[in-house]
Amino acid sequence: MKRRWFIKCLGCGTALAASQIDLWPTILGGIQNAYAFGFTKELASVEARYYKKLPGRGIECGICPRKCMVTDLERGYCGTRENRGDVYHTLVYGRPCAVNIDPIEKKPFFHFYPGSNAFSLATAGCNLNCKCCQNWDISQSRPEQTDNLDLPPAEVIALCTEKKVPTVAYTYNEPVIFYEYMYDLAELGHKHGIRSVMVSSGYIEAEPLAALMPHLDAIKVDLKAIRETYYRDYVDGELKPILDRLVQIKKSGTWLELVYLVIPTLNDSDEEFTELARWVKTNLGTEVPMHFSRFHPQYLLKNLPPTPQKTLERAHDICRTEGLDFVYLGNLPGHPAESTYCPKCKRVLIERRGFQINQTNLKGNHCAFCGREIPGRFA
Amino acid sequence: MMSRVAVVRFAGGLPGSDQYAVMLKCGLTALSDGGGYAGLVKRLFPSGTVGMKASCLARQNSTSPALAEALAKILIEISGIKDNNIIVWERTSRELKQAGYSLNAASIGGRCLGTDAADIGYSAEFFSSGKVSSMVSRILTDLVDHNINLALLKDHSLAGMSAGLKNMYGAIHNPNKFHANNCDPFAADVNNLEPIKGKHRLTVIEAVSVQYENGPGFDGRHFDRYGGLILSDDPVAADRVAQEILEHLRSKHGRPTLADVNRPVKYLASAQQAGLGTAEMRSINLVVRLIDAAGSEKAGELLS
């Protein structure tokens, strides 16, 4: 195989998203490290997992609740899995189009090794089509429409080891659609002491999730709304399987955090925040970190304004009143609700500004002031 | 208002470029309502750049390069379109090449290229209609003034049928998102996207050898010869007639109707509702012509 080598920069805080739309990756700043990566025009061709052959012809994909029926030479909804003679192939195994080293807080994970970095990667494609997607240029593209790296799992782990990055994050797009790559990377990572975290919408079938979770250290789920109508109209998906998966993750003991992107007029009523808080409390408990993020108009929702700060604060207050212990506000740098507070003594445990940590008052997994145990994974 | 559809059948063997030219001229004459094919061609393609969106997903079962060549010659001969201003196009250059087309992106000769060719790609702008929001091939948005939907009739396991409307899935960047519910109303919405609707001039559906089952991928066990071309400036009416042919071939080979196997071609009704054309046979003025091996022409039957 011909390999063209380009010196590419791995910038801190900036995804290296290479797509046909952008024509070529742009480095936006914060450059810290330079690596040599091989770009390839060749799509991967690795047999996918979790599919079954249908009587007659065609296959049914079993990776996500969409259960696409795919005939020869066609692809599933995600655009990354193709039927070739009734053998289903993933076209994105080892073919990330976005690679970067991010603070773990950017995912966001606030209770998972705060202050550490994550080698973050994504391929093209997604099994949803959120009208507010901030990474639509890769998530809503097919892999031949992006510029992809040839980066097999062993190379990612070698880079993490060399650069002392403790975690790989599968992020930016929906990692479920590059399940095989994520699985093998996570499994290999554990053998080399590298952790893995999945940043997902949770739109995955129970069986592949159960098989994957032993190799993951944490999962962040974007719970986009608490109403099926929102999922139907703005996500092109379903809520119920996601709620089921959240319960499954919680029961497994894998560390879980939730994000809820608050979009003016679409999912921002008091009733929805209350319903959300009560569902979380009942099904996941009070200690699951709940992040409310500020929406910025983009992709297919350019007609709506950014989320007012007061709306986010209302969501925060409702969830706290309903009894959730760790409620955060995101995309509001400098807001007090970016920080972690002890539910017992109310003092600041982790003071944040944006993705930066200014002070930590933890002793292991406990509040340094009152000794209350703080849920999460801390150094 | 009635839509006019011409079906031209060839009684000889596999048509070559010369036979396709005869069939096309016959069909265009039938569409012209007495005005002659030249007048119609001049009216539809007065000048500028003409695109032909081929259908090449299934390699050996693709729209024939000989058909594209015959159509290009007519445009050059009648409208004086320069050969370099004719572009045969698809999603990818690889698909065109695998279907037997000779790629050419140069400034000399007829052009033939995929949206993935250098400096092409998709529009920066999103176009929306109904449930579809997509970027559209820059070949359509930026390079051509008029488009011919050069489609292929075949069975489709999800849509029921792939003909003209379904062929335009190859013009958008995210076709994989729009196959649910038998592609309804998505196929209608895709064809209602402004660049697709606005530049459509003519649909030519190749139905020479038709795969009536197990499409859209190639399955050599389920082909039958129909020997026809379907032409119309109404993309919905062309598909509606194509559906009659597909259902006829399925019935001939003992296959249930598409509706009976949960693949009704629902998107045609949605396309009619969107104002793209007529999906009712009673509103279609159908002309069927039969050309024998010697080139003689006479009235023909749609289903025989």
* Encoded amino acid at A367, one letter: C
**B256 interaction partners in chain A (CB closer than 8 Å):** none
β-pairing verdict for A290-294 and A255-262 = parallel
Residue A5 reports pLDDT greater than 90: no
Q: Please state the three-class secondary structure of chain A as a single string.
A: CCCEEEEEEEEECCCEECECCCCCCCCCCCEEEEEEEEEECCCCCEECCCEEECCCCCEEECCCCCCCEECCCCECCCCCEEEECCEEEECCCCCCCEEEEEEHHHCCCCCECCCCEEEEEECCCCCCCCCCCCCHHHHCCCHHHECEECCCHHHHHHHHHHHCCCEEEECCCCHHHHHHHHHHHHHHHHHCCCEEEEEECCCCCHHHHHHHHHHCCEEEEECCCCCHHHHHHHHCCCCHHHHHHHHHHHHHCCEEEEEEEECCCCCCCHHHHHHHHHHHHHHCCCCCCEEEEECCCCCCCCCCCCCCHHHHHHHHHHHHHCCCCCEEEECCCCCHHHCEECCCCCCEEEEEECCEEEEECEECCEECCCCCECCCECC
Q: Which of A75, A83, A145 sits opposite B173 (nearest CB)?
A: A145
Distance CA B134, CA A300 (A): 10
The pLDDT value recorded for residue A37 is 65
Which chain B residues are within 8 Å of A145, Cβ to Cβ?
116, 121-122, 173
Give the residues across from A146 on adjacent strands.
A19
Closest alpha carbon within chain B to A76: B176
Contact at CB, A71 and B158, closer than 8 angstroms:
yes
pLDDT in tens, B30-65: 999 888 999 999 999 999 999 999 999 988 899 999
Contacts of B62 in chain A (CB under 8 A): none
Give the pLDDT of residue A379.
77
* Mean pLDDT estimate for chain B: 96
Closest chain A residue to the Cα of B56, Cα to Cα: A73
Q: Which two tokens stand for residue A275?
A: 């319903």
Asked if A21 lies within 8 A of B218 by C-beta distance, the reply is no
Q: Which two tokens stand for residue B2?
A: 């009635």
Query: What are the residue ranges spanned by the domains of chain B?
Result: 3-290
pLDDT band at residue A6 under the 50/70/90 scheme: very low
Residue B69: in which H helix or E strand, if any?
Answer: helix B65-74
pLDDT mean over A54-77: 94
Question: What superfamily does domain A223-337 belong to in CATH?
Answer: Aldolase class I (3.20.20.70)
The pLDDT score that the predictor gives to residue A41 is: 87
Chain A residues touching B180 at Cβ < 8 A: 77
Minimum-distance CB partner of B174 among A68, A72, A140? A140
Segment A305-323, tens digit of pLDDT: 999 999 999 999 999 999 9
Residues A79, B177: C-beta atoms closer than 8 Å: yes
Mutant choice from B157, B222, B262 vs A, greatest count of A C-beta within 10 A:
B157
Tell if the CB–CB gap between A77 and B214 is shorter than 8 Å: no
Candidates A56, A58, A300; nearest CB to B126:
A300
CA-based nearest distance A376→chain B, Å: 37
- Asked if residue A264 has pLDDT above 90, the reply is yes
At B105 the pLDDT is 96
Query: Which chain A residues contact residue B160 at CB under 8 A?
Result: none
pLDDT band of residue A43 (cuts 50, 70, 90) is very high
**B215–A78: do the CB atoms touch at under 8 Å?**
no
Are B295 and B263 in contact by the 8 Å Cβ rule? The answer is no
- Of the given ranges (A70-74, A121-125, A341-345, B2-6), which has the lowest mean pLDDT? A70-74
Query: By C-alpha distance, which of A294, A292, A296 is closest to A331?
Result: A294
Identify the pLDDT of residue B114.
98
Q: Is the Cβ–Cβ distance between A368 and A362 less than 8 Å?
A: yes
- Going by C-alpha positions, the residue among A213, A259, A104, A223 that lies closest to residue A168 is A104
Check whether A86 has a pLDDT greater than 70: yes
Taking 70 as the threshold, does the pLDDT of residue A19 lie above it? no
Contact B219 A72 (CB under 8 A): yes
| B112 beta partners | B88, B104
Instruction: Say whether pLDDT at A25 is over 90.
Output: no
Q: What is the largest CA-CA distance in chain B?
A: 50
What residue ranges of chain B have pLDDT lower than 70? none
| Closest CA in chain B for residue A82 | B176
Chain B residues within 8 angstroms (CB to CB) of chain A: 57-58, 92, 116, 121-122, 124, 126, 128, 133, 135, 157-158, 173-174, 176-177, 179-180, 214-219
Nearest residue of A to residue B218 by CA position?
A72
Smallest CA–CA distance, residue B241 to chain A, in Å, is 25
| Tens digit of each residue's pLDDT (9 = 90 or more) over A188-228 | 999 999 999 999 999 999 999 999 999 999 999 999 999 99
Rounded to the nearest angstrom, the minimum Cα separation between B21 and chain A is 31
Interfacial residues of A (vs B; Cβ cutoff 8 Å):
20-21, 23, 56-58, 68-69, 71-79, 83, 129, 131, 140-142, 144-145, 236, 299-300
Say whether B176 and A142 touch across the interface (CB within 8 A).
yes
Residue A9 has a pLDDT of 39
Reported as a pLDDT band with limits 50, 70 and 90, residue A36 is low
- Identify the closest residue of chain A to B94 by CA–CA distance: A144
Helices A153-163 and A179-191, axial angle in degrees (round to 10): 40
Q: What is the pLDDT of residue B35?
A: 85
B292 min Cα distance to partner chain A (Å): 36
Residue of B nearest to A79 (CA): B176
Percent of chain A scoring above 90 in pLDDT:
87
Q: Would you say domain B3-290 falls under CATH 3.30.310.80?
A: no
Q: Using DSSP, state whether B24 is helix, strand or coil.
A: helix
Q: Work out the average pLDDT over A81-88.
A: 96
d(CA A63, CA A181): 13
Tens digit of pLDDT for each residue in B86-119? 999 999 999 999 999 999 999 999 999 999 999 9
Q: Which residues in chain B have Cβ-Cβ distances shorter than 8 Å to A131?
A: 133
Closest CB to A57: pick one of B126, B174, B214.
B214
% of chain B at pLDDT higher than 70: 100
pLDDT (mean) for A335-349: 98
Residue B130 C-alpha, separation from nearest chain A C-alpha, in angstroms: 12
Give yes or no for a contact between A126 and A173, defined as CB atoms under 8 angstroms apart: yes
Task: Please state whether the peptide bond connecting residue B264 to the residue before it is cis, i.e. omega within 30 degrees of 0.
Answer: no
Mean pLDDT across the stretch A244-265? 98
Give the start-to-end residue ranges of the domains of chain A: 1-184, 223-337, 339-379
B121 and A73 within 8 Å at the Cβ level: the answer is no
Q: Please report where in the chains the tokens 């009635």 appear, as a residue.
A: B2
Whether A312 and A292 have beta carbons less than 8 Å apart is answered as yes
Burial of B228 (0-12, 13-18, 19+ CB in 10 A): buried
Question: Bridge partners of B92?
Answer: none
What's the pLDDT at B34? 85
State percent of chain B over pLDDT 90. Answer: 94
Q: What is the mean pLDDT of chain A?
A: 91
Does residue A15 register a pLDDT over 70?
no
* Cβ partners under 8 Å of residue B226, min gap 6: B9, B153, B207, B208, B209, B210, B245, B249
Grouping H, G, I as helix, E, B as strand and the rest as coil, residue B155 is strand
Q: Is B285 helix (H, G, I), strand (E, B) or coil?
A: strand
